[in-house]
Homo-oligomer: A and B are copies of this chain.
Amino acid sequence: MANRRRGKNYFKRAEGTPPPVTAEIKRHVHFNEVDLLGIVWHGRYPVYFEEGSEQLGRRCGLSYKDFYESGLRAPIVQLHVDYFQPLRLAEEFTIRTVLVWDEGSKLNTEYYLLKNDGSIATSGFTVQLLTDAGTGEVCIISPPLLERCRTRWKSGEFHIKNR
């Protein structure tokens, strides 16, 4: 069983690699997202994670459309969520999405849902593998799409504005 690590990172930051790319969204909890206890149902969090990851993807050239046009898919092969504090009806919170540098044909993304006092309500991660849309096989050589993203990442372009 994975460790529950509040505020700790899920993926290692390898020495000498560019810092992670971070994106943030502010959001309210909608009525249809809470359960009988007035807190967000645990299975609704992948929706929040995806909102964060889509925002980050638009910025880094890693959106669904970008993959599609490059003949790639990026299926999620692993999802993990740790729940520390509930989010309540109408509560405002922040989705912080963090893409961590990795040399392989995959995307390692961490998610931190923050209450307005800065404390972590929920955290988690996803792992996506880059596959060829035609064969379905995992890309052995890192695809050009990912290489372009990495070049921009190293240049510091993604770190200038935070949203």
Per the 8 Å Cβ criterion, residues 109-141 of A in contact with B are 125-127
Task: Say yes or no: B36 contacts A34, CB within 8 Å.
Answer: yes
Task: Say yes or no: B2 contacts A2, CB within 8 Å.
Answer: yes
Main secondary structure on A side of the interface with B: mixed
Per the 8 Å Cβ criterion, residues 27-59 of A in contact with B are 28, 30-32, 34-38, 41-43, 45-47, 49-51, 54
Given A43-B47, A75-B83, also A35-B37 (CB < 8 A): no
Give the contacting residue for A78; candidates B10, B28, B36, B83; CB below 8 A.
Answer: B83
Task: Say yes or no: A42 contacts B34, CB within 8 Å.
Answer: no
Total residues of chain A contacting the partner, CB 8 A: 44
In the assembled complex, A89 has its CB within 8 A of some CB on chain B: yes
Task: Say yes or no: A82 contacts B90, CB within 8 Å.
Answer: no
